[in-house]
């Protein structure tokens, strides 16, 4: 096999995946493995970073074996990752000093409120584009340094390194300590105007700058593999990119005004703003994404904490079904007269509300309420939360989306996609390969390695597979929105 395939690592919140992507943009092979979720206290979420690395290392071998491919024939490696999840490890050994604190974790919520009371929110927002929320990495770093004995002294002496998952995987693959602009922009420590770590913000959060990785363009050389059992030395890593920016790139939303929604554990809507910085007035954040060549641009983003996770909850906790895919048939079987509203604020509400203390609620229950009706309400909640974010995005940007490009596993749920189109009132477009998060990282790595000569070569690789047109009557649409808005109002704490 010639050197025309890209190894793509997609490290997500609940599992790790490795794909081999051909020069035609096709999946030659893939491998997947879930890993342990730790919940030491209510609202706290942790991962074992060494377990994550071990899963990735195994999956590299599994994917290569499945394709019958030689690792030495890989043109490049691309990495896309769950963002904000925070790892602190020893420079000398690569061993984490604490479990990774996951983006969903709320342990630093009170500290974020303290910073707001001190009048710091405007400063953080103007420089980072972010709101002061426990979602982001900066306060998680501080927590680890404050709670692991000796950690702060060791960090100040240069013995400890911080990274989001991309940086940690890169370190294990190559020994390099780097990140890209998209991941750096999710930390509360990175100035997205200067594209440098901000000394004042680092001082406020008491994070030594020497533990932070240098940031560079998402399509650039980050290092080459060395000392691994699964891969030979010398394979270049040509892309690092946060998962949602990777999906934006994979959807070819390379121009200002283009947007996508990814349906995963959470849901994430991102709109390319080009070189125009825009501070949201409607509960969104401003972040960094990529233009066609992988260079940094601004983007508006709305983050929904609980998307597909609500279906997992119905499956694993309430045991309504044994496979998430069965939620579609449950929803279609529900009677039409149900007024059940499900607000899945299991980890608070993200954009556009940013209420860290909100908690989930199922409203409108009667003795006749069925599992099917609750499941339908859960799927509607995914689409309705997405509506809230897109509506805020349109108000901020002054643009009306002509269509919504979508990706992620939940796009296979026809009921959800039909309801999403109806509640938005615009077509919803699903690509042939919905794994655009993987494709984004692969495209960028392939461009860096010369597999594709220019971004124009990407345009025919992943055409639309289905378009869902809105058919919901306006009266029904307004009724659904009123019910939803009342449900949200009842769980908000501020």
Residues of the chain with pLDDT > 90, as a percent, come to 84
Separation CA 206–CA 282 (nearest Å): 30
Give the Å distances, CA to CA, from 117 to 29, 37, 105, 150.
51, 33, 21, 29
Q: What confidence category does residue 24 fall into, taking pLDDT thresholds of 50, 70 and 90?
A: very high
State pLDDT tens for residues 62-96: 999 898 888 889 999 999 999 999 999 999 999 99
For the cut 90, the answer to whether the pLDDT of residue 43 exceeds it is no
**Domains of the chain, residue spans:** 5-244
Q: Indicate the range of 22-26, 144-148, 440-444 predicted with least confidence.
A: 22-26
The closest of 239, 276, 195 to 78, measured between CA atoms, is 239
The closest of 56, 15, 58 to 312, measured between CA atoms, is 15
Question: Is beta strand 74-81 parallel, antiparallel or unpaired with respect to 236-242?
Answer: parallel
Separation CA 53–CA 399 (nearest Å): 42
Q: Considering the domain 5-244, what is its CATH architecture?
A: 2-Layer Sandwich (3.30)
What is the structure's pLDDT at 1? 46
What does the pLDDT average to over 235-263? 93
Token pair, residue 17, equals: 């995946």
State pLDDT tens for residues 347-369: 899 889 988 789 999 999 999 99
Place of tokens 């997609």: 10
Asked if 10 contacts 165 with a C-beta cutoff of 8 angstroms, the reply is no
Q: What angle do CA 348, 349, 350 make, to 5 degrees?
A: 120
What does the pLDDT average to over 250-261? 90
H/E/C letters for each residue in the chain?
CCCCEEEEEEECCCEEEEEEEECCCCEEEEEEEECCCECCCCCCCEECHHHHHHHHHHHHHHHHHHHCCCHHHEEEEEEEECCCCEEEEECCCCCECCCEECCCCCCCHHHHHHHHHCCCHHHHHHHHCCCCCCCCCHHHHHHHHHHCCCHHHHHHCCCEEEECHHHHHHHHHHCCCCEEHHHHCCCCCEECCCCEECHHHHHHCCCCHHHCCCEECCEEEEEECCCCCCCCCCCEEEEEEEHHHHHHHHCCCCCCCCEEEEECCCEEEEEEEECCCCCCCCCCEEEEEECCCCCEEEEEEEEECCCCHHHHHHHHCCCCCCCHHHHHHHHHHCCCCCCCEEECCECEECCCCCECCCCCEEECCCCCCCHHHHHHHHHHHHHHHHHHHHHHHHHHHCCCCCCEEEECHHHHCHHHHHHHHHHHCCCEEEECCCCHHHHHHHHHHHHHHCCCCCHHHHCCCCCEEEEECCCCCHHHHHHHHHHHHHHHHHHCCC
Residues of the chain with pLDDT > 70, as a percent, come to 99
What is the structure's pLDDT at 492? 95
Q: Within 10 Å of residue 360's Cβ, how many Cβ atoms?
A: 17
The closest of 414, 418, 419 to 384, measured between CA atoms, is 419
* Number of Cα atoms under 13 Å in the Cβ half of residue 261: 34
The dihedral sign for the CA sequence 188, 149, 81, 218:
positive
Token pair, residue 178, equals: 């780097």
What is the structure's pLDDT at 231? 92
């Amino acid at each position: 096999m010639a050197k025309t395939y890209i190894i793509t690592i997609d490290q997500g919140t609940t599992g790790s995946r490795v794909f081999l992507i051909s020069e035609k943009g096709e999946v030659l092979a893939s491998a997947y493995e879930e890993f342990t979720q730790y919940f030491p206290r209510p609202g706290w979420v942790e991962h074992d970073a060494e377990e994550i690395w071990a899963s990735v290392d195994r999956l590299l071998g599994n994917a290569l074996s499945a394709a019958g491919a030689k690792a030495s024939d890989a043109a490049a490696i691309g990495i896309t990752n769950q963002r904000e999840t925070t790892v602190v490890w020893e420079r000398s050994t690569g061993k984490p000093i604490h479990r990774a604190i996951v983006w969903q974790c709320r342990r630093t919520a009170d500290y974020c409120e303290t910073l707001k009371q001190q009048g710091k929110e405007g400063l953080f927002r103007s420089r980072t584009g972010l709101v002061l929320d426990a979602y982001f990495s900066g306060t998680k770093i501080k927590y680890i340094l404050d709670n692991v004995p000796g950690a702060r002294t060791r960090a100040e002496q240069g013995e400890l390194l911080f990274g989001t998952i991309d940086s940690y995987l890169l370190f294990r693959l190559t020994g390099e300590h780097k990140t890209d602009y998209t991941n750096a922009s999710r930390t509360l420590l990175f100035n997205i105007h200067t594209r440098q770590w901000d000394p004042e913000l680092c001082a406020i959060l008491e994070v030594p700058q020497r533990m932070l990785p240098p940031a560079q363009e998402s399509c650039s050389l980050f290092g080459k593999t060395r000392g691994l059992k699964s891969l030979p030395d010398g394979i270049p890593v040509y892309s690092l990119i946060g998962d949602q920016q990777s999906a934006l790139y994979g959807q070819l939303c390379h121009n200002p005004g283009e947007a996508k929604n990814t349906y995963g554990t959470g849901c994430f809507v991102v709109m390319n703003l080009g070189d125009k910085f825009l501070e949201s007035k409607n509960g969104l954040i401003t972040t960094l994404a990529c233009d066609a060549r992988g260079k940094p641009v601004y983007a508006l983003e709305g983050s929904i904490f609980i998307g597909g996770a609500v279906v997992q909850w119905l499956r694993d906790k309430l045991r309504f079904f044994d496979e998430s895919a069965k939620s579609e048939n449950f929803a279609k079987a529900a009677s039409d007269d149900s007024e059940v509203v499900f607000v899945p604020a299991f980890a608070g509400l993200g954009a556009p509300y940013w209420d860290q203390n909100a908690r989930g609620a199922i409203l409108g229950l009667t003795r006749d309420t069925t599992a099917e009706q609750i499941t339908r309400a859960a799927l509607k909640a995914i689409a309705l939360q997405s509506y809230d974010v897109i509506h805020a995005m349109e108000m901020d940007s002054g643009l009306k989306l002509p269509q919504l490009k979508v990706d992620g596993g939940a796009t296979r749920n026809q009921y959800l996609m039909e309801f999403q189109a109806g509640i938005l009132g615009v077509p919803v477009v699903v690509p042939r390969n919905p794994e655009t998060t993987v494709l984004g990282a692969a495209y960028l790595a392939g461009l860096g390695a010369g597999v594709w000569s220019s971004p124009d070569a990407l345009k025919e690789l992943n055409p639309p597979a289905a378009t869902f047109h809105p058919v919901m009557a306006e009266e029904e649409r307004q009724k659904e929105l009123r019910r939803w808005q009342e449900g949200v109002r009842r769980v908000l704490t501020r």
